[in-house]
Chains A and B, each alone.
Chain A
Amino acid sequence: MVNPWHEGKEESIFQVLTKEGIVTLFDFLRPDESAALRKKRFSFRKKNYVLQGKYAEALAQFDDDFLRRIAQGKMDWKVLRFNHQDYIVRNDKTSFKKGVYAIYQLQDWDDSCGGYVVFVDEDGNHIRVQSRKNTLTIIKNPISFYVKYVNHLARGKREFLLGNIRCHL
């Protein structure tokens, strides 16, 4: 599943995540695995809560031993879909689950169309996630996140996988 050049590096990736709080792995999956995942169909459910967000989500399977060794457990995954005018706002009032988060990019995406993902860390820093196809970003203990409003420049749907595990590195 994972691109061969990432294999065997779980320990060093884990160390970077622990120290830096974020790790970005480009070309994460083998090209055939990445293409197969993009073709997969999901059963989306729409979410429309104007003060929190407007988008669609579906449960997804995206877990293997490689990720378990980095996240120190099994992550829960879902795929999020955003059309024009969709978004998720940062909402500190909701109980944002602490733990390790991961974003896997199913497509290349132009951030000028909105739809980019931002995590906020404990120091208040806003960390924008790479919007490049087949990139996995893992982030430790963010306090919240948001997905920027998708504007009218967007052509097509914006989709990515969001993983989470409740643990503390």
Chain B
Amino acid sequence: MISLYKSFRAAKPFPYLIIDEFLSQKKSKELLLALQKEKFTLKESDLFTFWQSSELKENPRFLKLARVFRSSKWKQRIFEMTNISISSEIDLFGSLYQNTNHLLPHDDQLAGRKIAFVFFLNTLKKNQGGRLRLFQKNNVRKKITPVRGRLVLFAVSSRSVHSVEEVYFGKRWALSGWFHG
């Protein structure tokens, strides 16, 4: 856990963690199948075009995951990994990016948000796009490829400028949200 904390703090351009195999391939696949049963709405603005589910934290198909994320054990684990205290309040939704869908750089700052997370439910090749990109000033400093079972956490601050690269083909399925403080 100490090494994860060090890794989190030392990460550039801002504190983040990549936890591969956060859930087993089987469980991740089950979550993907569950998400594919949800209704998605096209979200479109100057900043983004992608498909989003409704809030999932009370949804029976995702209750198990939501309970993990709201548990005392998880709060303790997050504190050990990041030195950031979170509450039981979370936001959890599903996202789907298809051909040309994207999310432009922004910092996620909104009252109460402490840590942002993305849990990838499928794997994309580099040429498919859909990578999570972390920025330092006006340049991409880190690209994180979607890999099934991979959980990405990052601290929300004025520095946490990130984007989702345009998807060129295929589909990018993920569960995303925030841990509040």
Chain A residues whose CB sits within 8 angstroms of the CB of B161 once the complex forms: 50-51
Interface centre among B107, B163, B166, by most chain A C-beta atoms within 10 angstroms, is: B166
Contact with B along A122-160 (1 / 0, CB 8 A): 000000000000000000000000101101110000000
Contact with A along B11-38 (1 / 0, CB 8 A): 0000000000000000000000000000
Q: Does B62 lie at the interface of the complex (its beta carbon under 8 Å from any beta carbon of A)? A: no
CB closest residue in chain A, given B101 = A151
Contact with A along B57-81 (1 / 0, CB 8 A): 0000000000000000000000000
Please state if B166 and A89 are interface contacts (CB–CB under 8 Å): no
Please state if B166 and A151 are interface contacts (CB–CB under 8 Å): yes
Chain B residues whose CB sits within 8 angstroms of the CB of A48 once the complex forms: 138
Please state if B100 and A152 are interface contacts (CB–CB under 8 Å): yes
Q: On chain A, which size bracket covers the interface?
A: 10 to 19
With A51-B161, A151-B166 in contact, do A114 and B105 touch (Cβ < 8 Å)? Answer: no
Contact with A along B103-140 (1 / 0, CB 8 A): 01111000000000000000000000000000100100
Please state if A148 and B166 are interface contacts (CB–CB under 8 Å): no
How many angstroms between the C-alpha atoms of A114 and B105 in the bound complex? Answer: 16
With A50-B138, A50-B161 in contact, do A151 and B47 touch (Cβ < 8 Å)? Answer: no
Chain B residues whose CB sits within 8 angstroms of the CB of A58 once the complex forms: none
Q: Does A118 lie at the interface of the complex (its beta carbon under 8 Å from any beta carbon of B)? A: yes
Other-chain residue from A51, A88, A90 in contact with B105 (beta carbon distance below 8 A): A51
CB closest residue in chain B, given A112 = B100
Please state if B105 and A118 are interface contacts (CB–CB under 8 Å): no
Please state if A89 and B104 are interface contacts (CB–CB under 8 Å): yes
Please state if B104 and A87 are interface contacts (CB–CB under 8 Å): yes
Q: Does B102 lie at the interface of the complex (its beta carbon under 8 Å from any beta carbon of A)? A: yes
Chain A residues whose CB sits within 8 angstroms of the CB of B107 once the complex forms: 51
With A89-B47, A118-B46, A152-B168 in contact, do A50 and B100 touch (Cβ < 8 Å)? Answer: no
A-B contact pairs, 14 of them (CB 8 A): A49-B138, A51-B161, A85-B166, A88-B46, A90-B45, A146-B46, A148-B46, A149-B102, A149-B166, A151-B102, A151-B166, A152-B166, A152-B168, A153-B100
A residues apposed to B, CB below 8 Å:
48-51, 85, 87-90, 114, 118, 146, 148-149, 151-153
